Structure 1
Amino acid sequence: MLKPGTVLRGKWSQQEFVVQQRLGSGANGEVYQATQTGKGNALVALKVSAVSADIASEWRLLSDLASASPAFVQPVLMDDDALGKPFFYVMELISGDTLPVAAKSLGDPDLDRLFGDYLSALSSLHEKGYAFCDVKPENLLVERKSERRARLVDIGGVTSFGRSVRQYTPTYDRGFWGLGSRTADAAYDLVGLALVFLFLRQPPPADLMQSPLESRRKWLYSILSQLTPAPRRNSVLVGILESRIRSAETAVQMLQASPAVSTSGAARVSVSQAERMDWTERFMWFSVSSATAATLAAWVVLLKSS
């Protein structure tokens, strides 16, 4: 752990960074806020590790993701410390709040938009054959700027499709809720994101986390049974948690089909455009709405009889 005031000097870049405070830690190292001297004391984030291979691997992935989606943190440089201290890379320091904090001052239209933005970012990641895996509130930031953009941080848990998930948080892990395995795939991320947004409305009780799986599932279904068709993301949440929606791209398309919702980088859908939806789109939404309504009704009956 680096103390405030510690100076890291890049062996190759000759840039100096003064550590201010620790922001967090993960399986592959620690993250610090620092100032970059000689650059107007710009604020940056440093990821440090004693293992050069971990830093190099994350740097390559971060660079790749940053070019795919603006939601991911932008890289600045990678270097070795000239004095033999930890290996490190420098990245953009995001000024923002975690999703639950930001949600307190946001309405449903903004939350629907953010949901779509996170889905779009995950879709870009999935196209490269990776799952984010550790989808949790701490890794979902909302910028404090006027645009309130969705951002994803900490790629330490990113895992290739088909491999075992090595970094996860039980509360947002599909295996913990009995909704699937801990194998990295697109659906693993979708379930995590759906649980994050679902728990914005109703966080799980602390004692539930120690309860048997069946008790956890019963509580989860009771919360799902209380959802209404509005806002639009509710139908998508149910579809994901029922395993009917298994790709981020499909989820984004469902959100975009609503006149009330748009996502970053996507064209807004006007009311007139919605009225011109062809019969295939209408049939899709009729099928989804019918399935969701039937499912919710079945859960209500199940809960009353149990």
Structure 2
Amino acid sequence: MENEQHHVQAAVLRVEAGTTLQGVWNGRVYRIERRLGRGANGVVYLVTHLPPAVQPRGGRTAAYALKMGMNSVDLQSEINALQTWEKGWRAVAGHGHARPFLVDNDDCDLHGKRIPFYVMRYIPGVSLRKFIYKHGPEWYGIVGGRLLGKLRQLHRQGLVFGDLKAENVLVNDNGEVELIDYGGLTSIGKSVKQFTEWYDRGYWHAGSRTADFQYDLFSFAVMTIQLMAEQELRERIKTTLPQTRDIKDLIEIARNHPRVRSYEPWLAPALRGEFSSPEEACRLWHERTRKLHRSAKPLNRPTPSWLKWVFVVSVLLLAASIAFWAWGFD
């Protein structure tokens, strides 16, 4: 029955690129660009907001992430948690420096059904997995530190992300990170609303599913192992009985795999739930990565796309100047 409901939800929430959605109550129009991710309670799409002035021309304006789901109660609970987090975050950052996170929430008519959705800010980027594949694992120390900083912001507001995995993390050209799909966002002390088995400490018999900051740190540790040693992790899960599954399996991979070994001094305490605070976890991660970078070759920093264009234009201008100078002597 549950699988049948999942298939129905997937079919209803499947939207082709180029489709336009209009909010029933607020009237804003969004054009679907592509899917960003899918969770247990909904789908996240990259969309373009089309103000009335550009709708007939199909012009492109601001890009956002739009999440839609079948269960309005679930989605509203998610929106409430996000509003609580944003209010606290804006109080700390100051209104002048805080870019709004939640942009809109409404309903739309899709495939004959009324579907709730909300719209949030979007930072252009690729999934964490694609970023590391493109730029190399040596970049994980910096990106991972920034992700831990994002999680710490949530934890300070009394919230846990819950469903942390590589697919829910976007990274831009500068290595800045953004979380997407807040379906697992849960107040500390309550049962985690949404999770993915591999990253769940209950799955590994390492603790409860009660939301605390250590739950996110556990998921972060498993995600690190998966990104660096996915084949070994899959094989360990495949050959281990559910009742004998243990964090010792994860720590063993971290200790023995060449790409993960350097992070093991941080991963082991995270898996055991030994960090006393999010601040301690962030501080020790930065200390560990600084040691790694001192002993490693310099990072090959990704070049921002705007800088590439500046270089091209500069070359063209130089060529034109040389040609003009040469012409003047003819």
Change (3 A) 1:228 1:235: farther
Alignment equivalent of 1:112, drawn from 115, 134, 141: 141
Structure 2 alignment gaps of length 5 or more:
1-11, 292-330
Alpha-carbon distance in structure 1 between the residues aligned to 2:229 and 2:117:
39
Residue 102 of structure 1, CA deviation: 1.3
Alpha-carbon distance in structure 2 between the residues aligned to 1:33 and 1:72:
18
Q: How many residues align?
A: 260
8 Å CA contact retained: 1:119, 1:249: no
Q: Which moved more, 1:38-47 or 1:95-104?
A: 38-47
Alpha-carbon distance in structure 2 between the residues aligned to 1:199 and 1:253:
23
Alpha-carbon distance in structure 2 between the residues aligned to 1:200 and 1:229:
10
2:157 aligned partner: 128
Q: TM-score, normalised by structure 1?
A: 0.71
8 Å CA contact retained: 1:65, 1:72: no
1:223 aligns with 2:253: yes
2:32 aligned partner: 19
Structure 2 counterpart of 1:33, which letter? L
1:280-295 matches, within 5 Å, as none
1:164 aligned partner: 191
Alpha-carbon distance in structure 1 between the residues aligned to 2:240 and 2:102:
42
Q: TM-score, normalised by structure 2?
A: 0.66
1:8 aligns with 2:21: yes
Change (3 A) 1:105 1:222: same
8 Å CA contact retained: 1:8, 1:85: no
Alpha-carbon distance in structure 2 between the residues aligned to 1:6 and 1:166:
30
Alignment equivalent of 1:152, drawn from 152, 162, 179: 179
- CA-to-aligned-CA distance 1:195-235 (integer Å, 9 cap, x gap): 11122221212462462243554532321332789987442
What is the RMSD of the two structures over their aligned residues, measured on CA atoms? 3.5
Alignment equivalent of 2:42, drawn from 23, 29, 46: 29
Change (3 A) 1:24 1:139: closer
Instruction: Give the secondary-structure state (helix, strand or coil) at the position aligned to 2:290.
Output: coil
8 Å CA contact retained: 2:104, 2:120: yes
1:99 aligned partner: 128
Instruction: Give the secondary-structure state (helix, strand or coil) at the position aligned to 1:124.
Output: helix
- CA-to-aligned-CA distance 1:99-141 (integer Å, 9 cap, x gap): 2221123355531122211111111111222211111111122
2:319 aligned partner: none
Instruction: Give the secondary-structure state (helix, strand or coil) at the position aligned to 2:46.
Output: strand
Structure 1 counterpart of 2:191, which letter? S
Change (3 A) 1:41 1:260: same
Instruction: Give the secondary-structure state (helix, strand or coil) at the position aligned to 1:134.
Output: coil
Alignment equivalent of 1:59, drawn from 74, 79, 83: 79
- CA-to-aligned-CA distance 1:270-302 (integer Å, 9 cap, x gap): xxxxxxxxxxxxxxxxxxxxxxxxxxxxxxxxx
Instruction: Give the secondary-structure state (helix, strand or coil) at the position aligned to 1:105.
Output: helix
Structure 2 counterpart of 1:188, which letter? Y
Alpha-carbon distance in structure 2 between the residues aligned to 1:240 and 1:234:
10
